[in-house]
Structure 1
Amino acid sequence: MRALRIIDTDDGPRGRITEMDQAELTAGEVVIAARYSSLNYKDALAITGAGKIARKRPLNAGIDVAGVVRSSEDGRFHPGDDVLVTGWQLSETRDGGLADLVRVPADCVTALPPGLTLWEAMALGTAGFTAGLAISRLRDNFQTPEAGPILVTGASGGVGMFAIQMLAQAGFSPVAVTRRVEAQGKALRELGANDVIAPDDLDLAGKPLGKELYGGAIDALGGQVLADMLGQIVQFGNVAAIGLAAGPKLETTVMPFILRGVSLLGINSVECLAPRRDAVWSELAGALKPAQLEHIAHETIGMNDVHAVCDAIVAGEHSGRTVVDVTR
């Protein structure tokens, strides 16, 4: 079988397309014949060696996969079933989806919900699932459109683009936050953003609280940007933290939390448990399915093109989503 495998080289971990035996795959009860995967920032870090994502090596790359069950030792799944896997330590401690076959524990497998094709599941992938999970958590904590606009940081990335369109479709007013206001502003408004601003526009100049301007946020940055936006969320608003592109440290005060009742909601899409995972995927196949999914997932490539796209992702020269046809 063919796989894009992370191996140790003289230059550090790198992804290489190679042949391997099915018996070498990490353990699990379900074997999936992969049809599609997708490329995320973590994939790019792992494959280029820019980040040490694969904690054991050799290990197959790809944190997402959609395909057809080849064999199953678990009664929940049967040969021929269409399924998907996102997260669950794929490409970290388990062999991932950029391979002909993937073997995983049954608890990691999600049945493909009606309303999605295998390609659409990977056009969404971890990015779409993370955006959907963040919106689910906001709603669980009583976020409503009436509370005010929702900030979306990292707006030109996969999660951000999906979040903007999903929020707009759900009746919210998204405000895109990006350093590429001029370059991406028109496209983000076409996805549903009511406004497009730069991260610097949120700067509170060291003050713990500012005006209550935003109903909530989906934040991919962390760091100072997150600290500043917390001070501008309305009473009882929510911020869903999905990433740390601007840094892992959060230097703030408790004032937004105790004076305005703001909630900071952590989003862990990697190990989200089955009941919520199934519910989110059902929504992604229904009301939250992005109307412009094929526009956001603007290209489908073969395995031999993965390295070039990963280089572009690491260089900050890539936007939207790239699906990988594993059979090509």
Structure 2
Amino acid sequence: MSTPTDAPGHPQSKTAIIAALAANLGIALIKFVAAWFTGSSAMLSEGIHSLVDTANEWLLLLGLRSSRQPATERRPFGYGRELYFWAFMVAVFIFAIGGGLSLYEGYEHLRHPAPLGSPTWNYVVLAVAFCLDGSSFLVARRTFNAQRGQQPFWAAFRASKDPSIFVVLFEDASDLLGLLIAFLGVFLSHWLNRPELDGLASVLIGLLLLVVAGLLLRETKSLLLGEPAETPLLVKISALLDADQHIVRSAPPLSSYLSPHEILVVVPVEFVPGLPASQLTQVIGQLCDAIKAAHPDVRHIFIQPAALGLPEKPTA
């Protein structure tokens, strides 16, 4: 089976996104104020970072809302992949805007280093931001841990089909690391009287965002193109079909995720010869209902009668 299913509307995902949006909006404002008063390049990069994150959370909320639209004649399988599209756009924004602007700002500060103002503003803002980002990170981590169960973190990340959770988790983790880098940049810049270190911190923040964006781009691209269901789930579906007395043999199921908890499955099946059309329709309907009852994430199941050149299943 896939990861545990949220209730309709993904309330856990939505809670994590709203918590991150509120935190990042407040943090962005105070970071820009601190950057204005102190002239810190690292703080300006962190403000850009938080502003981009705020826009990203809004895009994820838009994706969640759009993905819940009912199926239409033009979209018979619904709009589930809207979430994957907007998650992909979030990764692009992190890469192009967050990482790009931070690198540019840091490069300019390295070329033209200027002494910083009083560090008090920076330290206060960094402390407040760390508390807010930390709270948002804990919410996202708790939600992600509830989904991954006993899986190792990286295995769960690669297997996850819900970008609204892992995107927020990675954003918040990069926020906390960025704050640590900004703190070191401001502190060392004042302590060593080397203003270029503040610009170096901005460059490091930009590189951090590029790494995070790269991970998210790879995973969300895979989801957008269509990932198959997990092998254990497909094996169980095949076993359920092969156990039916009306089936001679079945081919390996074809599958694709349409949304985090919506799977499309197509199975070519060879039925016993001479089965009346009316009974064939009844048997297919019963098998579809049985598969959906056993595996709720399988929302669309198509059993396709076919003549298969495969070895027959063993008889008792």
TM-score (norm 2): 0.23
Higher-strand-fraction structure: 1
Return the index of the structure with the highest Cα Rg.
Answer: 2
